Amino acid sequence: MDRNYSDFCDSAADWKEEYVPLATGVELHTVVFTPPCTPDSPVILFIPGLISIIENFRETVIELTRNHKVIYVETREKGTARIGEDHRLTVKDITDDIVHFAEQKIAEEADYIMVGYSLGATVIAEAFSLLRHKPLSVILIQPNSSFPFKGIAIFFARLAKYIYRPVIPFVKWYMRTFMIDIKSDDEMYRINCRNLDTADPARLGAVVRQLSTYRMDGCLEQILVPALVVVASKDRFHSHGEGTGIASLIPGAQCIDMEDNKRTHGPEMGRVIGDFISSLAQIPSQADQL
């Protein structure tokens, strides 16, 4: 671990890279960014999406680390995680990791917010009811209630360990031709290219197969803290309908459309998160009303 993460945080913030061993038997790669003075600001537990790398969130994290300690944790399907051959890559397994991680890394007396993208957002929704120490709020960005990989995706997933590198150019062509609107959301293409170039082939193949049967069921109604759901209507890679549907099932959730991935992965997203956190004092939680 000799990477310099100074380019991913505010110039005044410090950072620490570490591996966090969990009761599930995995070790998750984590970067903790700490501004010089944040006495009243809640900690942000930041969970990126499926195989997504920190380069995709650079501008957002820089904005967040001006005022908040940010714990950036990479989930077990990423090449950075230390896992065994018997570890599975289902939503349940990834959720179990995050529950243990939050209980281990967030002090009982500390206020914190959970922020997640795509798979990270899905895991937050599943984890909420299992957490003993609940976050003050959750922010779900482009969340998924399913991962309906099928057809050609499943075919390549089964062979990924053996043919991954040679077929990456074809996969990129397929994405920009059939899955992503390059004209209105070119950032989504760049994000996915970065992810594909750095993914662990065997893990990517396994996680695509294991996520394909997942369907969210029953966890959203149990989220009884202020929630913000962010969708991007120009993003064809994520389901806009799934995102708004998730928002409709979380009691009292706010939903905003930031249109494209340049906005959801840029400094504006950091400001939106910061503004939502600042507004929490005026937003009563559903749990407080019971």
Residue 275 belongs to a domain: yes
pLDDT (0 to 100) of residue 148: 83
Confidence of residue 287 (pLDDT cuts 50, 70, 90): very low
- pLDDT of residue 158 exceeding 50: yes
Structural domain includes residue 167: no
Query: What are 84-136's pLDDT values in tens digits?
Result: 999 999 999 999 999 999 999 999 999 999 999 999 999 999 999 999 999 99
Number of domains observed in the structure of the chain: 1
1 lies in some domain: no
* Residues paired with 140 in a beta bridge: 116, 229
Confidence band for 149, pLDDT divided at 50, 70 and 90: confident
**Predicted local confidence at residue 156, as pLDDT:** 83
* pLDDT at residue 54 tops 80: yes
46: CATH: 3.40.50.1820
In a domain, 208, yes or no: no
Q: Average per-residue pLDDT in the chain?
A: 94
Does residue 245 fall inside a structural domain?
yes
Q: What is the pTM of this model?
A: 0.94
Average pLDDT of span 75-89: 97
The answer as to whether 198 is a domain residue is no
* DSSP letters for 46-102: EE--TT--GGGGHHHHHHHTTTS-EEEE--TTSTTSB--TT---SHHHHHHHHHHHH
Q: Which domain holds residue 41?
A: 6-147+215-289
**pLDDT (tens digit per residue) in 256-286:** 999 999 999 999 999 999 999 999 865 554 4
Name the residue with higher pLDDT: 233 or 236. 233
194 in a structural domain: no
Is 101 domain-assigned? yes
